Structure 1
């Protein structure tokens, strides 16, 4: 008797917790306004009578936007960067020594393809030993031995006497 009473009380509490006006099964349910993506036109779209098709500009794929001529440079400027840096081509003079040093033993023109093939072969070999019951990040598992612990490296450099910049605190 007490057991059935407790079950009945628990079921009542569970059902009343689900009630109320603000409870929604779907967070995308609107508040009485039409849903933009739920409106399906029954007939094909037509141009208004006063607007001729010739007055509309032809779309230019890759062309500039008529209202926002330089969106990328505006974003760079808003984030504190230099608009001129986007137009720069080639290697800046300050980096020429670095580029020459990096290419002193020759430059492979197909380096991206070579690295992609080597990475795919490595991942294939690593998959043989990754037993998974639950879907997981296989890339991270395969390269777990190659991950760099930034804090440990920072401490190693500091112990060696290398001047290092400040680091955000641990969370």
Structure 2
């Protein structure tokens, strides 16, 4: 019995697709940090255009770490575009925003543990490994959400609890109820 060339091609195509499906893939959609050496698209803000000043004597002396005349000032530009005085908007220094100083001070009142982010990342990885130790799957899958599923908050249950307690919820739809037939639910 002979096999037609079309059947051979179909079998080869199926094998190639099957082999391609077994390839490695990196499931890091829950990580919002930038990986690699490439630029962060949302961190790139074009500088203001260079302009020749009316007098070079009016230029401030160069100060290391100080703001540059061509540095973007989106808040001041927005205030000026809305008719306000953009010069009255204080430039933000690196670190916490000016309005968050009290919050940062209160959070750090008992001291700050150096290296806490690395420690939490290691503990999180160990927790996820323990939580998914007895699962085996043919396809590689991201276990991040499965590991933390028991800690998830059901927003509809919280909404019902708040309403039963008499708390006003003006931002929530008054008829909002969970619909388990919705997509993704």
Q: TM-score, normalised by structure 1?
A: 0.45
Structure index of larger Rg: 1
| Structure with larger RCO (C-alpha < 8 A, sep 6+) | 2
The structure whose residues are more often helix, as a share, is 1
